[in-house]
Amino acid sequence: DQQVKQNSPSLSVQEGRISILNCDYTNSMFDYFLWYKKYPAEGPTFLISISSIKDKNEDGRFTVFLNKSAKHLSLHIVPSQPGDSAVYFCAAPYGQNFVFGPGTRLSVLP
């Protein structure tokens, strides 16, 4: 039972354009969400988070939007840069650990 879903396994975007990565969840008890970024041969690194009391959190080029009624969140990267090419995971705390989505591979084309 996948509680966190990322339905797009991959996404390609032109440099300078906006990248939008989507994440859906099924557990309405989730109240905190995180995005992690993973480069090949490296561990995931924390990127940005959002609490359910907010519907938007912005950090530089990265903005996460949360729509609780739709159980949907999205990560916007603008402008996209080639260095943003990585796998992005959406995650939510679940008990003592985290539930991760399957990830979306973003390719930013120069």
Partner 1 sequence: GAGVSQSPSNKVTEKGKDVELRCDPISGHTALYWYRQSLGQGLEFLIYFQGNSAPDKSGLPSDRFSAERTGGSVSTLTIQRTQQEDSAVYLCASSLALAGNGYTFGSGTRLTVV
Q: Which residues bind partner 1 (CB under 8 A)?
A: 2, 4, 6, 9, 32, 34, 36, 41-46, 49, 89, 91, 93, 95-103
For residue 37, the minimal CB distance to partner 1 (Å) is 11
Burial of 102 (0-12, 13-18, 19+ CB in 10 A): middle
For residue 69, the minimal CB distance to partner 1 (Å) is 23
The nearer residue to partner 1, 44 or 106, going by C-beta atoms, is 44
The nearer residue to partner 1, 14 or 26, going by C-beta atoms, is 26
The nearer residue to partner 1, 65 or 79, going by C-beta atoms, is 65
